[in-house]
Amino acid sequence: MGCKKCETQAVYITLNHEKLCKNCFINYFERKVYKTVTKYKMIEHGDKIGVGLSGGKDSTTCLYLLQKFFENKGNTIMAIAVDEGIHDYRDKTLDEARNFCKEHDIPLVITSYKKEFGFTLDEYLKKHKINPCSVCGVLRRYLLNKSARRLKVDKLATGHNLDDEAQSILMNQIKGNISLSAKLGPITGILMHEKFIPRIKPLYFMTEKETTVYSKVKQFNVSYNVCPNFGENLRESIGQMLNDLESKFTGTKQGIVNSFLDILPSLRKHYQHKKIGICSECGEPAAKDICRTCMLLEKK
């Protein structure tokens, strides 16, 4: 099975059934990510970009490419990591994140639940019977935004990929959270707010599989392990369903995301009247009088 262009061994077959060798795949992947960033005008000249770095394949790939594409074009690239306090997991991925940033001369700032909230995620979960992902997602987003603002970052990039977006679209549809879908897209959010750092998703059109292949052919020393708290939940069930459909009907995930992007402008117009408020407890951006983070902290 050889690459169509180079007649060397292929490492990946695209949705269009094109066989690509290692070098051709790297070019394909990088061109597609760069096109996404430029098409949606994610980054402007002079922007300071913070990348939410976990040490995994997606965020590491995102960080690597943004540095490669934009560091010498008048932009500053740095990494922001959150230590949730997940024993025998996050400590290892943070070591990988530190090593990667040191190797590529990228500034890295690490914040933690323990320092900011006074407890680790493990400690919180021992006291409360609650879905770990729902707690972790809220607190992690809160800390990333707060840290990015402290560091005077203009844009906050995350490693979300096509699989993540397709899953989120279907989750919101199933749960009836259409207003949340209006906040999705390559650049998240509906309205601007001085305390909320805009989120961008450079890997928006790249599948999970493509990012995995890219990180391996580039020989990134990253973690492929799943978080120990990740168990049976709606996102996992939808992810498995989408993988099954994709194996039978190639392009399923791409089709879901493309269809969603067609209606996204109408969704955002419908919900644009909603205002971003300020949490009465912590002063951070919030949809209600008290933000979800403060609600969780009241239970600690």
Average pLDDT over residues 279-300: 88
Q: Between the CA of residue 19 and those of 211, 213, 243, 258, what are the distances in Å?
A: 16, 14, 21, 23
For the stretch 211-265, pLDDT in tens is 999 999 999 999 888 887 776 688 889 999 999 999 999 999 999 999 999 999 9
pLDDT tens, residue by residue, 56-82: 999 999 999 999 999 888 899 999 999
pLDDT-based confidence at 1, cuts 50/70/90? low
pLDDT at 281 over 80: yes
Pairing of strands 19-21, 10-13: antiparallel
Q: Per-residue pLDDT tens for 190-210?
A: 777 888 999 999 999 999 999
How would you class 289 by CB atoms within 10 Å of its CB: exposed for 0-12, middle for 13-18, buried for 19 or more?
exposed
Share of the chain above pLDDT 90, in %: 74
Mean pLDDT value across the chain? 92
- Each as own residue / partner, the long-range contacts of residues 254-261 (CB below 8 Å, 24 or more positions apart, any chain) are 254/15, 254/162, 254/205, 256/166, 256/169, 256/170, 257/162, 257/165, 257/166, 257/169, 257/204, 257/205, 260/165, 260/169, 260/181, 260/184, 261/185
Question: pLDDT tens across 87-123, in order?
Answer: 888 999 999 999 999 999 999 999 999 999 999 999 9
Side by side, which strands form the sheet with 48-52?
108-112, 76-83, 48-52, 155-157, 199-200
Domain ranges of the chain: 40-297
Prediction pTM value: 0.94
- Predicted confidence at residue 232, as pLDDT, reads 65
Burial 216-248 (b: 16+ CB within 10 A, else e): ebbebebbeeebebeeeeeeeebbeebeebbee
- Which residues is 50 bridged to in the sheet? 78, 156
CATH for the stretch 40-297: 3.40.50.620
Place of tokens 């961008």: 200
pLDDT tier for residue 139 given thresholds of 50, 70 and 90: very high
What is the predicted pLDDT for the residue at 27? 96
- For residues 59, 140, 261, 191, the Cα torsion angle rounded to the nearest 10 degrees is -130
